[in-house]
Structure formats: C-alpha cells, structure tokens
C-alpha cells in the first residue's frame, strides 16, 4: 500500500474519484487525531474537512520525503493549531469514546470492562500536557513510527524519543493516582 500517495497523484492528474479514496482511507483516523487538539468531536470533524478541502483546492505539493499519511496529518495538525489560536475558547467535554460504537457479538461484561479501561486511559491522557498526549496518540493509537510522529510534531527523532519516554512516565503516574497499574506503557 502506498499510504495514499498514488491516489493523491491521480487526483492531481485529474481523477476526481481518487480524492474520495483518500478521504475514505484517512478521515476516521485523522478526525480522532484532531480530536486530541479540540476535545470536541464536531470541531475535529470540521478540521478534518478543512484538511481535505486544503488538499483538494489548494493542492499543496507532496514531496514524498515522508509517508503520505504523515504529510496529511501534518497538514491537519497545522490547521488544528491555527484553529486553536483563533478560537481560544473553553474546551468541550465531548469524549472520544462517546463516538465509539459497541461491537455486536461480544460478551457484554467483557466489552464493558474494555470500554472502562479505554475511558480511564483517555481520561488520564486528557490530564497530560498536550505534547505528551499527542505523542502517545500518534504512536500508540494511530500507529505512526517514532520518526513519522516526530515529523508531524516538528521534533527531531531524539526529541521524540525523549518526549515519548516522559509521556509514558506521566501517563503511568496519572493512572497510578487512580489506583491503576498499566503494564502496556512499560
């Protein structure tokens, strides 16, 4: 998989359906990532749409120095930062997990426990410094490599490694305050 680059080049060459392929592939993950900035899923959806609007109408150059997904998330991050600068308003308490649907066919009690664990982790993430939360979301939730996350956050690889170390430590401490030991952040 080319991670969206060939679809973008097809779009630039005049194939309008290629933009739809890009949107379908990246909209959900991008929205969840942008929600980490806004704490409001509706604002995050608007920022996601603005990101796709930008690539559709302004057609910025994709150099290929990073993966297409990294490049797209960087554009979204810049749009989110601009948005936050413009708005400077109190964050809404809409939770990321409010948007997750319960999967059918799973044991209800097991699903409840999994959802409670996710809620605890997301609540703890909200209490962390913004950069810590972003670093954890990009690498552990979105699956970006450290170098891709560093590129998105405008950090060096070494800064990203240090940031992730500090972020995991802060998350572990926040979870321990709640009486939770979380082995996955070791």
Radius of gyration, CA atoms only, the chain: 18
- 144 falls within a domain: yes
> Are residues 16 and 67 both part of a single domain?
yes
- 126 falls within a domain: yes
Per the structure, the complete domain to which residue 60 belongs is given by: 1-92
> Are residues 109 and 52 both part of a single domain?
no
> Are residues 88 and 113 both part of a single domain?
no
CA distances from 81 to 5, 72, 112 (A): 24, 14, 34
> Are residues 12 and 83 both part of a single domain?
yes
3-state helix, strand, coil in the chain (%, to 5): 75, 0, 25
CA 158 from chain centre, in angstroms, equals 21
pLDDT of 109 reads 64
Provide the 10 A C-beta neighbour count for residue 4. Answer: 21
| Nearest-10 Cα torsion for 109, 115, 120, 124 | 170
What is the rounded CA–CA span in Å between residue 116 and residue 14?
Answer: 47
- 133 falls within a domain: yes
Instruction: Report, as ranges of residue numbers, the positions in the chain whose pLDDT lies below 70.
Output: 1-3, 88-115, 181-186
Domain limit, last residue, from 50, 65, 92 = 92
> Are residues 170 and 110 both part of a single domain?
yes
pTM over 0.75: no
pLDDT of 111 reads 61
What mean pLDDT value characterizes the chain? Answer: 82
- Write out pLDDT tens, residues 63-108: 888 899 999 999 999 999 888 888 764 444 334 444 444 444 445 6
Work out how many domains the chain is built from and give that number. Answer: 2
């Amino acid at each position: 998989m080319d991670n969206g680059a060939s679809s973008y080049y097809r779009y630039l060459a005049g194939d309008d359906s290629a933009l739809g392929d890009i949107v379908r592939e990246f909209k959900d993950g991008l929205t969840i990532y942008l929600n980490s900035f806004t704490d409001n899923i509706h604002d995050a959806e608007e920022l996601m749409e603005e990101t796709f609007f930008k690539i559709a109408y302004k057609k910025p150059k994709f150099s290929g120095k990073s993966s297409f997904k990294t490049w797209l998330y960087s554009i979204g991050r810049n749009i989110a930062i601009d948005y936050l600068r413009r708005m400077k308003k109190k964050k809404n308490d809409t939770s990321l997990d409010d948007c997750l649907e319960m999967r059918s066919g799973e044991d209800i009690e097991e699903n409840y426990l999994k959802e409670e664990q996710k809620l605890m982790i997301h609540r703890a993430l909200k209490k962390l410094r913004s950069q810590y939360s972003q670093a954890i979301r990009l690498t552990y939730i979105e699956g970006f490599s450290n170098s891709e996350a560093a590129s998105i956050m405008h950090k060096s690889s070494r800064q990203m490694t240090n940031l992730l170390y500090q972020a995991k430590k802060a998350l572990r401490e926040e979870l321990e305050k709640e009486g939770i030991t979380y082995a996955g952040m070791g």
